Amino acid sequence: MQTNPRILRAEADKFDRQQRFPTERDRQQREHILTAAQSLLARHGSHAISFGAMAAALRMAPATLRRHFIDLDALLGEIIGRHLMDISRRLGEIPFNDPDRCRKQREIYFTFCRGTFGGLTEAHRLYTRDRHVLPQDILSHLENTRDGIGELLAGPNAQAALVLLDTPYIPLANIEVMLAALPQEAETATPTEPTPRPKPPRKHRPLRPLPSNRPRWLCATYPTRPTPPTG
């Protein structure tokens, strides 16, 4: 089984000590690729576009596109990851000690991810619809970021809040009502330690009385056996 070129490039970038830093032209070209590819992937779906077709749509050679992104999975993962980081930065604008922090963060999440008429934005549509087709080496990082955002939005009800907020055309007021009906704390069963069984009292064997005809020098009061008297 051959190693994926995407994984090989990530490892090579770590070991390359003479890695060339991107120029301003490289950054502008990369931003152009991400912006145009986001619109194309959101409209047609990642399953309907090949790497060569994406390069042709961007009016560049496949080798030029591959210099920035080794395959379409890396390109889609970069678009979704950048979108999640933008959400995280917006949520971080609310102070941690704000008593209404969770509700305000849900409002920011809702506003940032919805379009003009209540539908999802292009980046958020890719996030909710196409992230599951990504390979595990890309998806695991995105899922960890998603879980962290969910905990900021609703604590123990993170998954329920994300499902509601990621469903298009549901008003925010209705989402808040449904979240308020959920338990605010996760019920966890407290393990109880088993009651130790009492140990039965130790039975002592009674001492047998010494026979009346037993010599005195055999009694237990003597630490050692003395020499018996003679005569």
- Note the pLDDT tens digit of each residue in 110-138: 999 998 888 999 999 999 999 999 999 99
Amino acid at 190: T
Q: What average pLDDT does range 19-37 have in this prediction?
A: 90
> Do the beta carbons of residue 86 and residue 112 sit within 8 Å?
yes
pLDDT exceeds cutoff 90 at 22? no
What's the pTM value of the predicted model, to 2 decimals?
0.75
